[in-house]
Amino acid sequence: MELYNGLQFLIMKYIITESRLEKVIFKYLDIKLEGIELKEGRYDDTLILVFPGEEYGLMGWDKPNKLYTYYKVIDDIENMFSMEEDDVLDVIGRYVESRYNLKVKRNEIAQDFDLRPLKVDE
């Protein structure tokens, strides 16, 4: 037990394997993305993961197997799980492959200044 300002704290350390962490992140994304739909994008051969009624999605996928992920999704996972950006991009790519059966060769960050890859077809 550690003492801090007169209070006692029990500090517990856990070692978690990479595969176990990935399962936890997948479950976290399943909950966060519940209700999301796969729709056709604005451009040919694009698919968008979007919540109903939204104009822009959180992730977009195009035919050369490139995924675009909205930066706030990446930041959320980075902060929640204390991960590096590149590792988060890789895990999100594997998540999309697993849950939506889309091959992902590359995952890029979609910023507010260029959301074209996340635009839903009108």
pLDDT in tens, 54-101: 999 999 999 889 999 999 999 999 999 989 999 999 999 999 999 999
Contact status, residue 95 vs residue 80, Cβ threshold 8 Å: no
Whose structure tokens read 């993961």?
Answer: 49
Are residues 62 and 117 in contact, defined by beta-carbon separation less than 8 angstroms? Answer: yes
Q: Which residue has the higher pLDDT, 31 or 117?
A: 31
Q: Strand 37-40 and strand 46-50: pairing?
A: antiparallel
Tell me if 44 sits within 8 A of 110, measured CB to CB: no
Structure tokens at 96: 């999309």
Which tokens go with 93? Answer: 């790519």
Distance CA 74, CA 80 (A): 10
Query: Which tens digits make up the pLDDT trace of 12-55?
Result: 667 778 888 999 999 999 999 999 999 988 888 899 999 999 99
